[in-house]
Amino acid sequence: MLLPLAERLYRVFYGGLLSRLPEATALRVGQALFRALPVAPLRTLAVDDPRLAVNLAGVRLPGPVILSSMYYDVRILRRAMALGFGAVTTKSITAEPRPGHPEPNLVRVTTPAGPGLVNCNGFQNPGLDAFRTALQQLHHERPLIVSVAGESPEEYRRLVAALEPQADLVELNISSPNTRLVYELSGSPARVGALLRLVREATRKPVILKLSPDYPDENRRAIVPAALDAGIDALNFGNTRRVDEPRLSQRSGGLSGPELFPTVVETVRELRRTVGSRLGIIATGGVDTAANALAALEAGADAIGCFTAFVTRGPTFPRRVHLALLGAIQERGLRHLADLRASV
Ligand SMILES: Cc1cc2nc3c(=O)[nH]c(=O)nc-3n(C[C@H](O)[C@H](O)[C@H](O)COP(=O)(O)O)c2cc1C
């Protein structure tokens, strides 16, 4: 009852208003409204059922649907936690504040698989010092994944050392296509190896490495083995895919949305075969239906990340997926979501 009504309201709001506004305005309007919502009613959308809990690199997530990296505003992160995401990821934080790339830095695209986005955000964020102060206001109602992006291995180490006390898990972004130094890291596996070793020494918290879909050979040949060697705890596959987009200020950007999903599910299956149970795996990219979420978990993911679906499907998306997963658990006579993979 609650879900169909809330979904219908969002469809009207998104179809009638947000999707007709220029993207930058839509983003500002959507974020301003979300920030203004009272937190308590959002909690009624959370699905709290112990059967949905999953273990990601030793951390208990109350559900497998994670909000992927995009927001740094703690008022938004707090509301995302209240909505019932199993964990919430911060925007990738850089050492210094960054204004991001000039607008237009986000456009909607229609792909054969469904609605997507192409962004060249360029890490717009307040920088390490301001973010660390802001994070003190955030109660971790759900686990918080703090994402960082540096310009050198040493800078990653510094960011992790500074932010890890306020994180439940730390995510290393070596894969955003919009910042040359970060993107090119995936093409230099030796530097990634050095970075991972430095970061490992800087924290005992679980560390997630977020991979690029644009470097499959490097990932397979060198980066995943380096993650195993360095004692990294989890892989997130993955980030957006670099595409040319003449409407953007940078003339190229990162594609997100359901067009990514077939590669995500195949790669997650391969990664699980490679790493066995040694590493946690998050499947991110194009998970915008409950069926996709289920397929990603069956392929070997411990959890699913999503951002574009939060925009196109709305704030009820985690509820929709968590309820569908409970249905699948019941149908198959399982006790926990964690038994799902074994049941396939
Ligand atoms: C506007 C925008 C900003 C993003 N910023 C970040 C970021 O700072 N760090 C990061 O690791 N990923 C970032 N991402 C990528 C998402 O976290 C996610 O990996 C990607 O969008 C694929 O998932 P989706 O298809 O569910 O959106 C961003 C994506 C978008 C659309």
Q: What is the pLDDT of residues 84-115, one digit of tens each?
A: 999 999 999 999 999 999 999 999 999 999 99
The atom of ligand 1 lying closest to the CA of 173 is 11
CB atoms closer than 10 angstroms to residue 74: 18
Parallel/antiparallel/unpaired status of strands 252-256 and 241-244: antiparallel
The CA 331 to ligand 1 mean position distance, Å, reads: 33
- For residue 123, pLDDT over 80 is answered with yes
Q: Global pTM?
A: 0.98
Which domains occur in the chain, in start order?
2-343 (3.20.20.70)
Query: Which of 179, 240, 248 to mutate to test ligand 1, by most ligand atoms within 8 A of the CB atom?
Result: 240
Query: Which of 256, 287, 321 to mutate to test ligand 1, by most ligand atoms within 8 A of the CB atom?
Result: 256
Torsion angles phi and psi, residue 213, rounded to 5: -75, -5
The CA 119 to ligand 1 mean position distance, Å, reads: 8
> Which range is least confidently modeled, 63-67, 125-129, 190-194, 197-201?
190-194
**Percentage with pLDDT > 90 across the chain:** 92
Q: Give SS3 for 71.
A: strand
Residues linked to residue 282 through DSSP beta bridges, in sequence order:
236, 303
Report whether residue 106 contacts ligand 1, using a CB cutoff of 6 Å: yes
Spatial distance between the Cα atoms of 121 and 101, rounded to a whole number of angstroms = 6
Q: In the prediction, which pLDDT does 343 show?
A: 65
Residues 238-286 have pLDDT tens digits of 999 999 999 999 999 999 999 999 999 999 999 999 999 999 999 999 9
The atom of ligand 1 lying closest to the CA of 175 is 11
Residues 12-26 have pLDDT tens digits of 999 999 999 999 999
- For residue 1, pLDDT over 90 is answered with no
The atom of ligand 1 lying closest to the CA of 125 is 8
Residue 182: band (very low, low, confident or very high) from pLDDT cuts 50, 70, 90: confident
